[in-house]
Chain A
Amino acid sequence: MRAPTSAVTRGLTLAAGLTLVLAACSSGGSGDNGKGGSHSLASCSAPGKADTCNSGDRKPGGTFTYTIEKNIQQWNVLDSNGNVFETGEVMSAVLPQVFVPQPDLSMKLNTDLVTSAQQTSDSPQTIVYKINPKAKWDDGTPISADDFIYYWRTMNGKDCPPPPSSDTSQTKGCLPFSTSGWDRIKSVTGSDGGKTVTMVMKKPYTDWKSLFGGGYGLYPAHVAEKVAGVPAGSADKMTGAQLTKGWQYFNKTPPTKYATAGAYKMTEWKDNDHATFVPDPKWYGKTKPTLKRLLFKVISDATQEPTALRNNEVQGIYPQPQVDLVSQIKSIPHVTYTIGSGLVWEHFDLNLHNPVIGKYKALRQAMFTAISVKDVIAKTVGQFDSKVKQLGSHNLVPGQPGYQDVVTPTGQGSGDLAKAKKYLTDAKFTGIGTALKTPDGKAVGPFNCRYTTGNAIRQSECQILQSSLHNLGIKVTIKPIGAADLGKVLTGHQYDIIVFAWVDGPTPTSNAQGIWSTGQSSNFGGYSNKQVDKLLADSVGQTDTAKAMSMLNQADKIMTDDAYVLPLYQKPTFFAVQDRFVGMRDNATIVGPPYNVQDWGLAK
């Protein structure tokens, strides 16, 4: 009887030893926690520091590897297929933009490209861009009005129409990601040897600063002209077919193959793996790049990013934060990080196609009032970011000009059960707190709460909603959405309550119109209010931004009263880099942290 006993004990000892060794390994990295340097990104969350934090003197040399989470096959960020965050990040390193979205969410004029961009007349709205005489594509061709004209003509939806219905290849036309703004332009003309661009609008456009930039850079028109076989500088005369040729070329071709105009030049693209950039010797800007090499490495599974950073395989990561990920990064020596407030915001949506939810405003108000957003935050993002607060607007985030909290004054998201019940008693609902019934005696619910599978945060959000609504007498079942099914669930209205996120773009007014106006394709829950429609439509076409924002907020108040969507909070962003580098900052807008690659470098 001896042998097996000892074998088992020996085996167990072996197993225990193995675990101990591995456990020792796993804690080893965090052993020298504390000497993590100055945590210079940490200052980014201080007020007014977002645009200037983590700066410092640089010394030449060094290789910085930044992480992107998706492979890139579509290189035209203006195309609706290519309008992906990662493509935008990569292309903004090489393509010039007129206004660049900054970490503090403002739009900053890129004086390397244009010396000025001003609205010179209100009626018709006219904007004049003065191109910096030094601005050149790296093959020596000056950046000129031709590039602006080309940009506009591909985007306005008319000069380069979408593919005909006989085309099954998506290649016989242009499919811009959005035509809003572009379709309001009457003309774009060049003068002063192509160095002055005058844009005249048919109808005013509030968000004109997002045109020719705002995360979407200018592609070189002369390259497109060459591909289409037309003389250089003739963008204003190109036919639809010729514009299509250029468009398709930019769709398929990585910028290693054509002239670009950034501080860095992409020299290599290895599909599924990485892009390599080196300083562009022809760079015309004030700030010279100092890195020897800049890489964008594809890591498609965010959970692998902290280990790659710890192992010095990448030097900067920009994953969606989660409590363990944040504490993992905290324990890595010589890494600095920041948690920012993003433009992405989480929300509960009610489906107004549901006959009961759609019919009773009081019910919707009661539901939203019963939910405590504070609890939601405490169970989710609050655990790694104590700054997160309830978001009070459907269109803007704090820090954006015009932000106004229209939600919390109504009591929605307060978790005030008494107030919620009062809405229901006033509207003559019965069975409050037990089994809720409508005034005409129909049962309320059970409703489903849907979220994308695998998202633990949203799962908790649905669960909190479940227990809040239970207090009103509404039964909620939680039903995850399959990995590839979100689109179908949204467009097919297969939900009662759904939790997902919207991202606020650089164009708040046209964004709002696309989401909340009657019949829009992104208005999944079927919201419709004529007053809101009118206010939103008007807000898009203003020459005075302040006025547009006040209209936007007015519409938002009405919408909040209708209790259609409950904003929860801004999703935190998370940016971590090794502290031997300076210049990197979190930028929650669509350009992402690479908005200022020319400032990146080794700390002196």
Chain B
Amino acid sequence: MTETTEATGAMDGERPPEEREFTVVERTQAQLVLRRFLRHRAAMISLVIFVLIVLWAFIGPHLWHYSYQKYTPDNSQPPSAKHPFGTNSAGYDSYAQVMRGTQTSLKVAILIALGSTFVGAVWGAVAGFYRGVVDAVMMRISDLVLTLPLLAIALVISSRTGGSWYWIALVIAGLTWAYVSRVVRSTVLSLREKEFVEAARALGASDARIIFRHLLPNSLGPIFVNATILVATGILTETALSFLGFGVQPPDTSLGLLVSQAQTAVDTRPWLFYIPGAFIIAIALTINFIGDGLRDAFDPRQQRVRQ
């Protein structure tokens, strides 16, 4: 996005791969992507913030002297040196709770992203590769999954499992993989006609090898970008479920749960409302920027357009 990025980015991108073989150093596709990503300023800043949040959420609780599940004698205290994020009415330290909440929300979001990306990518690739009846049946199953209302399924899970974070994540992943499968399928549909797939087939590669060594690696761009979006939507979906009472259940906590418990506290105990909300926004925002950076890195065409 910078002027320098512009220049080099343009040069890197414009050269077709065959030409590059004649330059001094050969760069792999991955190196190219990485270089472009590193030059994406917003994405890099976001990545740093995101990593800091992750470290804080996972290491912080071990260093902090209050636990998210032990109440203190200080009820409803505003932020202070003792309780940097204040306390809630039962006297829980909000700093400990926000750390735990961030941790849970991240775990939920990442499990959603990994789970649905893996299943969706394989599903979409297989469907797109075989086409015909296999494709039709597999895609109708995806359609079926897309019609299932998340709320109804989440209710059962929350009443049957006590709302553990991994169940919530599995349910959301169990419904979102179908979106991923559609995206991957359409990418694979166009890839399978490309010459390198023809070549692999001619060399006697098995179907599994073609799918896993050729089709999927070449769809990594859309898959990565989608995965980052899924992290962001995962956090927001868990938040929405918590608002409706079907998300992570106490005594565990999540950012969504914290913020929905503090709905009425905007005026009266603002620290309970704004802080977890700010963390949700920070995570979703940085992830979106990272996704944007990845998109530009994988597919630099959009960036170059200038009038």
Chain A residues in the interface with B (C-beta under 8 A): 1-5, 7-8, 23, 26-27, 29-30, 303, 306, 322-325, 327-328, 331, 378-380, 383, 453-454, 456, 459-460, 463, 478-485
Contact = CB atoms under 8 A, between A and B. Distances in A.
A285 B45 CA distance: 74
A26 B266 contact: yes
A4 B267 contact: no
A328 B267 contact: yes
Chain B residues touching A, range: 35 or more
A4 B251 contact: no
A3 B245 contact: no
A325 B262 CA distance: 11
Contacts of A459: 90, 250-251
Given A463-B71, A480-B250, A324 B265 contact: yes
B219 interface: no
A542 B155 CA distance: 48
Interface in B216-253: 245-246, 249-251
Contacts of A331: 267-268
Contact of A379 (B3, B71, B162): B71
Interface string B48-86: 000000000000000000000101000110000000000
Contacts of A478: 250-251
A8 B270 CA distance: 26
A485 B4 CA distance: 61
A4 B42 contact: yes
B263 A303 contact: yes
27 contacts: A1-B41, A2-B3, A3-B1, A4-B1, A29-B267, A306-B264, A323-B268, A324-B262, A324-B268, A379-B71, A379-B90, A379-B91, A380-B89, A383-B75, A453-B249, A453-B250, A456-B89, A456-B90, A456-B261, A459-B90, A460-B90, A463-B69, A463-B71, A478-B251, A480-B250, A482-B159, A482-B160
A335 B267 CA distance: 17
A376 B249 CA distance: 21
B41 A483 contact: no
Contacts of B268: 323-324, 327-328, 331
B264 A463 contact: no
Contact of B162 (A27, A328, A460, A479): A479
Contacts of B267: 26-27, 29-30, 327-328, 331
B163 interface: yes
Given A322-B264, A323-B268, A379-B71, 6 more contacts: A1-B4, A8-B45, A328-B268, A383-B75, A383-B76, A480-B250
Contact of B2 (A4, A378, A479): A4
B269 interface: yes
B207 to A, nearest CB: 44
B71 A323 contact: no
A576 to B, nearest CB: 14
Contacts of B91: 379
Contacts of A30: 267
A421 to B, nearest CB: 23
A306 B75 CA distance: 23
A571 to B, nearest CB: 15
A324 B90 contact: no
A379 B69 CA distance: 14
A379 B74 CA distance: 9
Contact of B155 (A303, A327, A328, A484): A484
Contact of A454 (B41, B90, B245, B269): B245
Q: Which of A1, A4, A29 has the most CB of B within 10 A?
A: A4
B90 A7 contact: no
Contacts of B69: 463
Contacts of B264: 303, 306, 322, 324-325, 328
Contacts of B269: 324, 327
A324 B273 CA distance: 11
Contact of B163 (A3, A380, A453): A453
A163 B262 CA distance: 47
A8 B163 contact: no
Interface in B251-307: 251, 261-270
Contacts of B2: 1-4
Nearest to A19: B274
A277 B249 CA distance: 42
Given A453-B249, A463-B90, A483 B158 contact: yes
A547 to B, nearest CB: 44
A482 B266 CA distance: 27
A327 to B, nearest CB: 4
The list of the 5 closest CB pairs from A to B, nearest first, reads A482-B159, A4-B41, A324-B264, A327-B268, A460-B90
A67 to B, nearest CB: 15
A8 B90 contact: no
B41 A5 contact: yes
Contacts of A463: 69, 71, 90, 251
B123 to A, nearest CB: 31
Nearest to B264: A324
Given A323-B89, A483-B158, A484-B155, A460 B41 contact: no
Contacts of A378: 75
Contacts of A323: 76, 89, 268
A414 B287 CA distance: 51
B94 to A, nearest CB: 14
B75 A379 contact: yes
B249 A480 contact: yes
Nearest to A478: B251
Contact of A483 (B71, B246, B251, B262): B246
A454 B261 CA distance: 8
B158 A7 contact: no
A3 B251 contact: no
Nearest to A485: B159
B172 to A, nearest CB: 18
A230 to B, nearest CB: 47
Nearest to B251: A478
A475 to B, nearest CB: 14
Contacts of A481: 159
A556 to B, nearest CB: 30
A3 B3 CA distance: 8
Nearest to A466: B251
A479 B250 CA distance: 9
Contacts of A379: 71, 75, 89-91
B160 to A, nearest CB: 7
Contacts of A485: 159
Nearest to A479: B162
A351 B89 CA distance: 29
A8 B159 contact: no
Contacts of A1: 2-4, 41
Contacts of B71: 379, 460, 463
Contacts of B1: 3-4, 7
A454 B245 CA distance: 6
Contacts of B4: 1
